[in-house]
Amino acid sequence: MMKTSTRLRRDWVYRAKRKVSSFSTATTGTSTEMRSTKNPFVGKMATPSHLAKWRTGSYSSRTFSAISYMEDDNNNRHSAAKNDRLLVVGSGVAGSATALVAAETYQMPVTLLFAGNIPHDCNSFWAQGGIIYRNFDPSSGDSAESLARDIHRAGAGLCVDAAVRKVSEEGPDRVRELLLNPNGPFADVPFDKKPDGELSLCLEASHAAPRILHYADHTGMIITKHITQAAARHPLITMQPQTLVTDILREDDICIGVATLNRATGQRSFEYASRGTVLASGGLAGIYEHSTNPPGFNALGSSVALATRAGVQTQDLEYVQFHPTSLYMPNEARFLLTEALRGEGAVLRDASGRRFAQDFHPEGELAPRDIVARGVFEESQKSEKGNHNVFLDITHRDAEWLHARFPTIQNHLAQRGLDMAKDQLPVIPAAHYTCGGVSTDMQGRTSLTGLYAAGEAARTGLHGGNRLASTSLLEGLVFGASVADFIGGSEEGQDLSSMIQSRLESSPMVMQSNNRRYDAWSSSLEPNQIENAAHRAVQLLRQVRRIMWDHVGLIRTPSGLATALEALTDIQDEAMELHQLCPTLETAGVRDAACAGRAVAAASASNPESAGAHYVVADSEEYSDDEEEVAAR
Ligand SMILES: Cc1cc2nc3c(=O)[nH]c(=O)nc-3n(C[C@H](O)[C@H](O)[C@H](O)COP(=O)(O)OP(=O)(O)OC[C@H]3O[C@@H](n4cnc5c(N)ncnc54)[C@H](O)[C@@H]3O)c2cc1C
């Protein structure tokens, strides 16, 4: 067991430390380069050509300069008119969908806050495989019922049927409205088409029909570009980058806005909103040592941490999904090899070349993700003399077709001397997706009035214990839009807005902050103190990630979870104090990561029943999968 000594040492700010990289966000490089930066909070997030295109607006008819940024004018900021808006935290698919529907359909002023320099700095950008649509060819057998069955089955019987039905039934219309919208206010995403001009739909593991829309293997990139461009050019949407949301502001039983920290200037502010506040701030798979999630301020558990600190209900946190096939390269960050590869026929082999997936499930490589992930993990534990022994093999497919269908992956492989048409690819599971999150109902309402959640931040019950491939982008669209529909289109939503408005008008907190300018944190600290704090935060984040991987990973034991809980509680205490003394990008990140990690460990420890992605064995037991039980699912 790893011993973690994390007791607070109050003299941290005075100790000399080696220099950490600056807080500014670099903006070029590949995913792997990003994860290997010394300071894990500082992410590079897109290739130069992607950024250049985004900046010059060549993905839309409007230029980057069309984006309006907030004026740093407190008098104006806190005026009643200014507060008449919806606050959306997060620029991924869920946040952008919420903002667009609110602004376009209901004419609501929206402020879209996000941590990155540009809105692409989010998990949505990195989605490879695709987004679920509907196969309208009757011979495919596809239907809302068929998709619902697949989601329920993957979710290990733990899905909430209302959420499953909502996504299965409303999904195709939302895709058409928000992503296939030529010349309209929403996005027009150029998904891959067949030679006859029809949309090309592919099959993925555990789907009964080919129903996945894609854009080669960088579907998230193209969706994010188009949807964020649509949001940026909307006159009622104000984009506010580089803004870390550090806390939820509540007046008794109502959410009135958020506290923020500008990562570039250190300026702290209170942002109020009478129409409501939406957490679309993503998941927490980035708090694991091995993760498919991008670096930077992404997937560090802010959604769960913000909710937890504000006393808002979370649920199903123990169901953290591990993707079965990330590329294994020693001393490198993990890189996702999409589910679509197995959908297109890739098979799993051990070091001797034997296909082993049938050993753990009759559907082999196309079994639900949690089962394949544990199968791959178990096989990898059998490795002898440190030799890697799990490989993904798609060499039987045509090289030209493979390279055109999976160009991002092939490019990544080629830089490492590999070719998917010729080589077996070493794979290992990695933390990938948060099935639980901030509890919501079908309108995205949380347990705190005025606070909503959508996308990976939310626990709608759609995924149960394990997410079906390609459901998350769709969930972000459907639930993001539903939040806007509720606030702008229902009487109840509008009554709530009036209630928040009157609370804002009488709130002592708001009146006080109207008359006060907040100093940047940096003005009261020496540069070396800030540097030391950042260095300590980076160390602590590394500890969080190691603990999560070692003790709250694919296979859990009661004693491992108890160890994790104790260590994460200590780290959380230190991180809270660190952030209070020196509120920076780094200290905010580790505070959220430790809080979210602790919440996942606690949820896991309190659920002794293995299901879906939560797999717990007795301390004495070696890992073993019950083949009969698995085969019955
Ligand atoms: C490598 C990879 C491949 C994937 N492939 C697929 C796929 O093929 N199909 C599919 O359906 N799903 C896929 N997924 C999952 C999917 O990408 C995500 O679940 C989904 O995009 C989440 O969208 P979101 O809008 O909820 O959050 P995100 O896209 O993660 O956006 C979160 C936003 O919140 C902001 N944020 C976070 N914390 C704060 C804070 N404290 N303050 C301010 N802003 C904050 C971030 O800056 C960001 O803008 C994949 C994920 C990964 C990592």
Q: How confident is the model at residue 71 (pLDDT cuts 50, 70, 90)?
A: very low
Sequence-distant (6+) residues with CB within 8 A of 234 are: 99, 100, 103, 104, 185
Is the pLDDT score of 521 beyond 60?
A: no
Distance CA 201, CA 192 (A): 8
**1-15, 437-451, 511-525, range with the lowest pLDDT:** 1-15
Residue nearest to atom 4 of ligand 1 (CA): 127
Per-residue pLDDT of 548-557, as tens digits, reads 999 999 999 9
H or E segment and range at residue 470: none
Q: Which atom of ligand 1 is nearest the CA belonging to 96?
A: 25
Q: Which residue has the higher pLDDT, 82 or 463?
A: 463
Is the pLDDT score of 25 beyond 80?
A: no
Strands 201-202 and 110-113: unpaired
Domain boundaries, the chain: 11-29+521-605, 48-126+225-319+434-514, 131-221, 325-431
Type of residue numbered 389: N
Sequence-distant (6+) residues with CB within 8 A of 630 are: 360, 361, 371
pLDDT value at residue 28: 26
pLDDT value at residue 549: 95
Token code pair at residue 480: 């993001």
Over residues 559-584, mean pLDDT: 97
Over residues 451-479, mean pLDDT: 97
Residue nearest to atom 14 of ligand 1 (CA): 127
Over residues 599-616, mean pLDDT: 97
pLDDT value at residue 530: 87
In CATH terms, 11-29+521-605 corresponds, of 3.40.50, 3.30.460, 1.10.287, 1.20.58, to: 1.20.58
Per-residue pLDDT of 575-590, as tens digits, reads 999 999 999 999 999 9
> What is the 283 CA–ligand 1 centroid distance (Å)?
7
Is the pLDDT score of 17 beyond 60?
A: no
Q: Which residue has the higher pLDDT, 393 or 331?
A: 393
pLDDT value at residue 14: 30
| Dihedral (CA of 282, 286, 291, 295) sign | positive
Residue nearest to atom 2 of ligand 1 (CA): 127
> What is the 548 CA–ligand 1 centroid distance (Å)?
20
Highest mean pLDDT among 196-205, 287-296, 563-572: 563-572
Nearest CA to 466 among 588, 362, 278, 321?
321
Cα distances (angstroms) measured from residue 351 to each of 389, 392, 425: 4, 11, 11
- Report residue 452: phi and psi, to 5°: -125, 160
Q: Which CATH architecture has domain 325-431?
A: Alpha-Beta Complex (3.90)
Is the pLDDT score of 574 beyond 80?
A: yes
**119-123, 274-278, 508-512, 629-633, range with the lowest pLDDT:** 629-633
Sequence-distant (6+) residues with CB within 8 A of 79 are: none
State pTM to two decimals. Answer: 0.88
Token code pair at residue 595: 């809080």
Over residues 117-137, mean pLDDT: 96
Residue nearest to atom 13 of ligand 1 (CA): 127
Cα distances (angstroms) measured from residue 146 to each of 151, 153, 165, 197: 9, 11, 11, 25
> What is the 503 CA–ligand 1 centroid distance (Å)?
32
Over residues 209-236, mean pLDDT: 96
Q: How confident is the model at residue 38 (pLDDT cuts 50, 70, 90)?
A: low
Distance CA 200, CA 220 (A): 16
Q: Which atom of ligand 1 is nearest the CA belonging to 473?
A: 11
> What is the 281 CA–ligand 1 centroid distance (Å)?
8
pLDDT value at residue 625: 45
pLDDT value at residue 345: 94
Q: 174-177: list long-range contacts, CB under 8 Å, 24+ apart.
A: 174/97, 174/474, 174/477, 174/478, 174/481, 175/131, 175/133, 175/213, 175/474, 175/477, 177/481
List the Cα angle 1/589/290 in 5-degree steps: 45
Q: Does domain 48-126+225-319+434-514 have CATH number 3.50.50.60?
A: yes
pLDDT value at residue 518: 56
Q: Which of 124, 268, 405 to mutate to test the pocket of ligand 1 (most atoms within 8 A of CB)?
A: 124
Are the C-beta atoms of residues 223 and 187 closer than 8 Å to each other? Answer: yes
Q: Which of 32, 35, 281 to mutate to test the pocket of ligand 1 (most atoms within 8 A of CB)?
A: 281
**42-46, 338-342, 391-395, range with the lowest pLDDT:** 42-46
Is the pLDDT score of 301 beyond 90?
A: yes
pLDDT value at residue 511: 76
User: Could you write out the DSSP letters of every residue in 193-207?
Assistant: B-TTSSBPEE--TT-
Is the pLDDT score of 132 beyond 80?
A: yes
Q: Which atom of ligand 1 is nearest the CA belonging to 281?
A: 34
Question: 3-class DSSP state for residue 254?
Answer: strand
Residue nearest to atom 17 of ligand 1 (CA): 124
Cα distances (angstroms) measured from residue 554 to each of 288, 378, 381, 448: 11, 10, 12, 32
Q: Which of 122, 258, 292, 483 to mutate to test the pocket of ligand 1 (most atoms within 8 A of CB)?
A: 122
**11-15, 177-181, 302-306, 469-473, range with the lowest pLDDT:** 11-15
Per-residue pLDDT of 407-442, as tens digits, reads 999 999 999 999 999 999 999 999 999 999 999 999
Q: Which atom of ligand 1 is nearest the CA belonging to 340?
A: 8
User: Is 233 a residue of the active site?
Assistant: no
Which residues' Cβ are closer than 6 Å to ligand 1? 89-95, 113-116, 121-124, 126-131, 219-220, 243-245, 280-282, 292-293, 297-298, 302, 336, 433, 455-457, 470-473, 476
Sequence-distant (6+) residues with CB within 8 A of 559 are: 1, 619
Per-residue pLDDT of 352-366, as tens digits, reads 999 999 999 999 999
Residue nearest to atom 8 of ligand 1 (CA): 129
> What is the 75 CA–ligand 1 centroid distance (Å)?
34
pLDDT value at residue 383: 79
Q: In what order do the strands lie in the sheet with 347-350?
A: 335-336, 320-327, 425-434, 390-393, 347-350
Please pick, among 369, 445, 467, 545, the residue that the annotation labels catalytic. Answer: 369
Q: Which of 117, 123, 483 to mutate to test the pocket of ligand 1 (most atoms within 8 A of CB)?
A: 123
Is the pLDDT score of 109 beyond 60?
A: yes
- Report residue 203: phi and psi, to 5°: -95, 145
> What is the 74 CA–ligand 1 centroid distance (Å)?
31
Residue nearest to atom 21 of ligand 1 (CA): 124
Q: 48-126+225-319+434-514: same fold as 11-29+521-605? A: no
Q: Which atom of ligand 1 is nearest the CA belonging to 130?
A: 8
> What is the 508 CA–ligand 1 centroid distance (Å)?
36
**11-25, 107-121, 330-344, range with the lowest pLDDT:** 11-25
Residue nearest to atom 27 of ligand 1 (CA): 282
> What is the 471 CA–ligand 1 centroid distance (Å)?
12
Over residues 389-415, mean pLDDT: 96
Average pLDDT, the chain: 86
Strands 110-113 and 86-89: parallel
> What is the 172 CA–ligand 1 centroid distance (Å)?
21
